Amino acid sequence: MNKNRTLGEFIIENQKHYQATSGEFSRLLSAIKLAAKIVSHKINKAGLIDIVGYSGSTNIQGEDQQKLDIYTNDVFINAITNREVVCGVVSEENDDFIILNDNALHNKYVVLIDPLDGSSNIDVNVPVGTIFSIYKRVTPIGTPVKKEDFLQKGNKQVAAGYIIYGTSTMLVFTTGNGVNGFTLNPAIGSFYLSHSDIKIPSNGNIYSVNEGNYYHFPQGIKEYLKYCQEVKAGVAYTARYIGSMVADFHRNMIKGGIYMYPNCNANYQGKLRLLYECNPIAFITEQAGGKAISGLQRVLDMQPLEIHERSPFYCGSIKMVEKLESFL
């Protein structure tokens, strides 16, 4: 593997895979790359400057917004919209979708983001992430974007990825030709290809779920968890749960494992948002050879009805997800 390859070089070399000839899509990836560096820089200083803690406001889902939630949202939306390739944006932090007018009416991409996933972990120095999903609009170029441009099935995604702000900052993404991971060298501000063509081990021994919700889980999930704890004649799986999906998913993708956020009474539809959490991670999961379901259905085949809709979510090593399915 050539570790001297930067993300910028990789984007140029792979333009032929992006079903794009105009360079617009490459510019969009470059915008995400820039925003990731700015946010990474800020998060690394989170304990030093007045950026941790609550902002005093709540988002559409009634959740307290952290100062960094708002900062990250602004950075990504500015970076994405300034490149004149996007006609609309959905963000976890914005009540409604953002319509870009004037010249932007002629752009063909829409972006959906969770700017700061796991943000309740910032104050305690635990990894957080950014998740993004990119589609081509379905309404005519030259007109304002409509809800239907965002309510596309996950299997229509042009690209999806995440940035993990962990012990190092990594940008991991797919355009439907496998999954590649790039690690930021903060000294020179460049992402380098560090994990090429990532594949999730077909089996693993890590399960990740908030077992504090156990009482409310569907019966099949309770039985599967018992299986995880008794499996292989007394050799149990290992439980690992950070509470930042990007970090939990990233670890399981590298080591082999299953991530679960079931529906439960407290969060009847589950907690995670279909459009900017489940779908992008499901696309990456499948591109890495794993499986992602919402229960009995493939996540990428679900028809979204609302931009902030939630879904139960199970993803990871194919054999582990198939085993889970046998309990549902």
Which residues are annotated as part of the binding site?
92, 114, 116-120, 210, 241, 271, 277
Q: Interface with Mg ion includes 69 (CB under 5 A)?
A: no
φ, ψ of residue 291 in degrees (nearest 5): -135, 145
Q: Interface with Mg ion includes 114 (CB under 5 A)?
A: yes
Rank residues 11 and 163 by Cβ distance to ligand AHM and give the closer one. 163
Query: Closest distance between ligand AHM and the C-beta of residue 9, in Å?
Result: 31
First to last CA, the chain: 41
Q: Interface with Mg ion includes 248 (CB under 5 A)?
A: no
What residues numbered 197-226 form the site for ligand AHM, per CB under 6 A? 210
Query: Closest distance between ligand AHM and the C-beta of residue 244, in Å?
Result: 5
The tokens describing 120, both together, are 């309740």
Please report, in range form, the residues annotated as the binding site for substrate.
Answer: 117-120, 210, 241, 271
Query: Closest distance between Mg ion and the C-beta of residue 193, in Å?
Result: 26
Please report, in range form, the residues annotated as the binding site for Mg(2+).
Answer: 92, 114, 116-117, 277
Q: Interface with Mg ion includes 117 (CB under 5 A)?
A: yes
Residue from 31, 193, 245, 293 in contact with ligand AHM (CB under 6 A): 245
Which helix (H) or strand (E) segment holds residue 243: the answer is none
Burial of 4 (C-beta count, 10 Å sphere; 0-12/13-18/19+): exposed
Dist CA 115 CA 174 (whole Å): 18
238 DSSP β-pair partners: 206
Query: Closest distance between ligand AHM and the C-beta of residue 254, in Å?
Result: 17
Which helix (H) or strand (E) segment holds residue 34: the answer is helix 24-44
Q: Interface with ligand AHM includes 171 (CB under 6 A)?
A: no
The owner of tokens 């995604």 is 157
Instruction: Answer whether 182's CB lies under 8 Å from 171's CB.
Output: yes
Q: Interface with ligand AHM includes 243 (CB under 6 A)?
A: yes
- Give the residue from 316, 308, 315 showing the smallest Cα distance to 274: 308
Residue from 73, 107, 169, 244 in contact with ligand AHM (CB under 6 A): 244
What residues numbered 65-94 form the site for ligand AHM, per CB under 6 A? 92
Instruction: Answer whether 299's CB lies under 8 Å from 315's CB.
Output: yes
Q: Interface with ligand AHM includes 148 (CB under 6 A)?
A: no
- Which does residue 244 touch among Mg ion, ligand AHM, none (CB within 5 to 8 A, set by kind)? ligand AHM
Dist CA 284 CA 296 (whole Å): 19
Residue from 67, 137, 250, 271 in contact with ligand AHM (CB under 6 A): 271
CA 203 to chain centre: 22
298 DSSP β-pair partners: 293
Binding site for ligand AHM (CB under 6 A): 63, 92, 114, 117-119, 210, 243-245, 248, 271
